[in-house]
């Protein structure tokens, strides 16, 4: 298998939930052993939908602690903040000259965000955030980007910008491909298609066992299974979706018990709670080690930023040379 250089990133919104793990972190941890990986704290991207910066630093530290607690290794894959590597904004400026407003307005992910967040007036930075994302990826000459299906349109924009630059000024950038995450989104506890802190329907990676139990107790199940002995439909029950990931060994037994009515929802949720807590136990233990050493977490970022600047500076030297800017 070819070895890629991979750029992965998240917006710092604080503590992460199990949906973040299944949708991204699990894959990142696997990829860091197979490829050359860089992990970006996309703090400038927060501004596209929220200009309040008062919590960004705190949220960055909390998110990076979760990265470390789940198994991301900064020795294998540097962690760094977008805002601390000035070349991100420089390349973003250059790339913004290579794409039209009409092309950005056709981005389906942007349309979904505008609808979901009920945004009336789209700011320039929000319209252009796929261009900043392109700069994030191509600054490190990323060959591949692990993403969910909803982010594939952004990778297409990145490929288009790379091709346009190379045609206009000379070959500098690869045209990265999307590495699709295998596991689909985990539904929220309220039955919403997406687990989201803004919807208050999550299980955090830092949740203690009793908290997980309380949250799962309230989780939405099959509305037709009212009493314990009623036959259920696992395919419409979000708790069964959680079993798929956290309790695969018992899945046939859980499904049969649900369909026959022998397994009630309370017992099903307790089984699921046990398995999720077994998964979270080592994560929480590692997390507690870092919670008391936040200066060490900042040092990890600072060290990663030194490595990132070396790569970013080298790329921009090539850009300047290709463009005859110096």
- Where in the sequence of the chain do the CATH 1.10.240.10 domains occur? 207-288
In the numeric block, the tokens 């699921």 are attached to 272
The residues pairing with 37 across neighbouring beta strands, listed in sequence order, are 6
Average pLDDT (179-199) is 80
Domain 5-186+294-322 of CATH type 3.40.50.150: no
- 236-273 burial code (b ≥16 CB/10 A, e <16): ebbbbbbbebbbeeeeeebbebbeeeebbbeebbebbb
List, edge to edge, every strand of the sheet that includes 177-180: 79-81, 36-41, 5-10, 144-147, 177-180
pLDDT per position as a tens digit, 203-251? 999 999 999 999 999 998 888 888 878 888 988 899 999 999 999 999 9
| The predicted structure's pLDDT at residue 184 | 60
Which residues have CB under 8 Å from 102's CB, separation 6+? none
d(CA 236, CA 278): 25
pTM of the model: 0.93
The third-level CATH classification (topology) of the domain covering 207-288 is Tyrosyl-Transfer RNA Synthetase (1.10.240)
- Where in the sequence of the chain do the CATH 3.40.50.620 domains occur? 5-186+294-322
d(CA 166, CA 26): 34
d(CA 249, CA 254): 10
């Amino acid at each position: 298998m070819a070895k890629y250089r991979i750029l992965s990133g998240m917006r710092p919104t604080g503590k992460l939930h199990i949906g973040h793990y299944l949708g991204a972190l699990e894959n990142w941890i696997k990829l860091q052993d197979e490829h050359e990986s860089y992990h970006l704290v996309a703090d400038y991207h927060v501004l596209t939908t929220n200009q309040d910066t008062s919590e960004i630093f705190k949220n960055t530290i909390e998110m990076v602690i979760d990265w470390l607690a789940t198994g991301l290794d900064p020795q294998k894959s540097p962690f760094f903040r977008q805002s601390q590597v000035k070349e991100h904004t420089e390349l973003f400026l250059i790339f913004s000259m290579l794409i039209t407003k009409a092309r950005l307005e056709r981005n389906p992910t942007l349309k979904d965000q505008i609808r979901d967040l009920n945004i009336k007036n789209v700011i320039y930075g929000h319209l252009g955030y796929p261009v900043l994302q392109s700069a994030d990826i191509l600054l490190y000459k990323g060959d591949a980007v692990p993403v969910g299906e909803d982010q594939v349109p952004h990778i297409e924009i990145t490929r288009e910008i790379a091709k346009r630059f190379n045609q206009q000024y000379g070959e500098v950038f690869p045209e990265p491909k999307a590495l699709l995450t295998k596991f689909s989104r985990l539904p929220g506890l309220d039955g919403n298609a997406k687990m989201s802190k803004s919807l208050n329907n999550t299980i955090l990676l830092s949740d203690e066992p009793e908290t997980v139990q309380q949250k799962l107790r309230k989780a939405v199940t099959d509305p037709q299974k009212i009493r314990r002995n009623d036959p259920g439909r696992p395919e419409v029950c979000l708790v069964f979706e959680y079993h798929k990931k956290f309790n695969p060994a018992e899945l046939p037994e859980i499904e049969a018990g649900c369909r026959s009515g022998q397994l009630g929802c309370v017992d099903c949720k307790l089984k699921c709670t046990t398995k999720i807590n077994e998964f979270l136990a080592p994560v929480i233990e590692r997390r507690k080690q870092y919670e008391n050493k936040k200066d060490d977490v900042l040092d990890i970022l600072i060290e990663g930023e030194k490595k990132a600047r070396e790569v970013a500076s080298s790329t921009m030297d090539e850009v300047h040379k290709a463009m005859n800017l110096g």
